[in-house]
Amino acid sequence: MLPRLGFGYTSLTMSIPAKFQQALARGLVALRSPAARLRRAASKVILLFALVSALAAAATPPNSPPLTVLVFGGSGQLGSLVARAALADGHKVSVFARESSNMQRLQGLPVTVIRGDVRESADVERALKSQSFDVVVDALGRSESGVEFYEQAARHITRWAAPTGVKHIIHHGSVGVAESRAAYPPKLFPERSPLFVSKEAAEKRVRESGVTYTIIRNAVLRPLPRGQADRAQLLEDPLTFGAVSREGVARLTVQCFRDPRCSNRTFHAIDAGIQYR
Ligand SMILES: NC(=O)c1ccc[n+]([C@@H]2O[C@H](COP(=O)([O-])OP(=O)(O)OC[C@H]3O[C@@H](n4cnc5c(N)ncnc54)[C@H](OP(=O)(O)O)[C@@H]3O)[C@@H](O)[C@H]2O)c1
């Protein structure tokens, strides 16, 4: 059985204070006992506190320096949310966008804009050589281009990622590709099949790029309904099919920047609280 990795609700850093609280509660109960028991209990609490503090320190990276991030498709619906989430997490963000791209979604944000067309290898080369990027996110959608766009874009990004020292590529793909075909509604599949062929070729390029990768497939992207909690998760089961919010996918994308559980893995993003119809 494939592992289910849910990054949605808990994290190592969140579970430790809960344990600490329980330990503290046990200690407080012991404090109501007579003097001898009290001293023993107090020393146990101190030991527990030291252990829990050490575990917490190990689970939380100490003041990690910001990462340099380049978002392809950064002016788009998903890409702009990735840029926002990365900035909120303290990273240095650049976006790759065409001269004609509508930059409205990024207005007022401290991002560096690198102009170019991803269909031009030389533009991608110039962008990736403009500075040293730790993370590259591909959140591109094809706009007016044909379906071959996805393979072409991935070819150009992966051509220049390893030689320019990129450490991690996060690629946004689609459910329906490769082994996830069985998850896709059969009625819709024939019409989208050429798109999935191009997207599968794009994924292959990313896996063979020589750079650590994370592939996040989506089936249906929706805005997060007003007032609803973001419960997006990444699952490794290739039969996962459903809707997920762009906000949730953006959050998970940024979480993957530093999470080793994302390295060289392919996930499906889903939020069980969002209807896809
Ligand atoms: N929408 C869904 O339900 C759904 C479902 C499954 C998977 N996905 C995938 O999720 C990803 C993002 O979706 P989205 O809805 O956020 O897309 P989107 O809003 O359409 O954004 C697409 C981005 O790609 C850019 N782009 C297009 N052609 C380009 C080019 N030649 N050079 C440089 N940039 C170019 C666009 O810029 P311009 O303004 O210049 O065109 C825009 O910033 C895509 O991979 C999509 O296939 C979406």
Given this model, what pLDDT does residue 5 score? Answer: 55
Given this model, what pLDDT does residue 64 score? Answer: 87
Cβ(171) to ligand 1 under 6 A? Answer: no
Q: 100 and 196 in one domain?
A: yes
Q: Which pTM does this prediction carry?
A: 0.83
Given this model, what pLDDT does residue 249 score? Answer: 98
Nearest atom, ligand 1, residue 140 CA = 24
Mutation probe of ligand 1 site: the residue of 70, 71, 78 with most atoms within 8 A of C-beta: 78
Cα separation, 158 vs 207, in Å, equals 9
Output the CA 179–ligand 1 centroid distance in Å: 23
Q: 256 and 215 in one domain?
A: yes
Q: Look at the chain and count its residues.
A: 277
Is the separation of the CB atoms in 269 and 218 below 8 Å?
yes
Q: Which of 125, 138, 124, 131 is nearest to 76 (CA)?
A: 138
Does some domain include residue 277?
no
CA atoms within 13 A on the CB side of 180: 26
Given this model, what pLDDT does residue 1 score? Answer: 39
Q: Which helix (H) or strand (E) holds 74?
A: none
The contacts of residue 150 (CB under 8 Å, 6+ apart) are: 140, 142, 195, 198, 199, 201, 202
- Token pair for 215: 């592939």
Number of domains forming the structure of the chain: 2
Does some domain include residue 5?
no
Q: 259 and 147 in one domain?
A: yes
Nearest CA to ligand 1 atom 38: 101
Q: Which residues span the domain enclosing 33?
A: 12-59
Does some domain include residue 257?
yes
List the CATH number of the domain containing 222: 3.40.50.720
Cα–Cα distances (Å) from 247 to 82, 194, 229, 230, 254, in that order, read 8, 28, 10, 8, 11
- Pairing state between β 92-97 and 68-72: parallel
Q: Which helix (H) or strand (E) holds 147?
A: none
């599968």: which residue's tokens? 200
Output the CA 165–ligand 1 centroid distance in Å: 25
Does some domain include residue 83?
yes
Nearest atom, ligand 1, residue 222 CA = 3
Cα–Cα distances (Å) from 218 to 66, 75, 173, in that order, read 27, 19, 6
Does some domain include residue 34?
yes
Low-confidence ranges of the chain (pLDDT < 50): 1-4, 8-21, 23-32, 46, 49-60
Does some domain include residue 4?
no
